């Protein structure tokens, strides 16, 4: 992932480009939207949808484009076994 900006354990600086991921779209959805930017993939937490719908939006400032490669999301089906629950 190469999107302008930076996310660290202490701060988020996604002023010129940001990927917003809303994994709880639809009925009963919560307000939580994860914002992602920068080049450090280790700070990105797994995103689990509770209802099989994820909305991904990319916002950028056209005058701030600096030639980075962008982003690529990969999804994997997760099967919850009996007794487990994602929160």
Q: What angle do CA 1, 10, 15 make, to 5 degrees?
A: 55
Compute the CA torsion angle 28, 26, 85, 80 (nearest 10 deg).
160
CA distance 38 to 15: 11
Report pTM.
Answer: 0.66
Q: Where are the beta strands (DSSP E) in the chain?
A: 6-7, 12-13, 17-22, 34-36, 55-60
Give residue-wise pLDDT tens across range 13-44. 888 888 888 887 655 555 678 888 888 888 87
At residue 66, the pLDDT reads 66
Please answer whether residues 53 and 77 qualify as being in contact, where contact means their C-beta atoms are separated by less than 8 angstroms.
Answer: no
Query: What helix, strand, coil percent values describe the chain, rounded to 5?
Result: 5, 25, 65
DSSP state of 69: -
Sequence spans of domains, the chain: 6-62
Q: What percent of the chain has pLDDT over 90?
A: 0
């Amino acid at each position: 992932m190469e999107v302008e900006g930076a996310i660290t354990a202490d701060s988020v600086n996604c002023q010129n480009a940001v990927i917003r991921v809303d994994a709880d779209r639809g009925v009963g959805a919560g307000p939580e939207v994860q914002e992602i930017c920068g080049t450090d993939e280790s700070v990105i937490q797994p995103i689990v949808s509770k209802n099989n719908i994820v909305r991904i939006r990319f916002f950028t400032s056209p005058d701030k484009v600096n030639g980075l490669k962008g982003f690529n999301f990969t999804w994997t089906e997760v099967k919850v076994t009996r007794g487990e629950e994602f929160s």
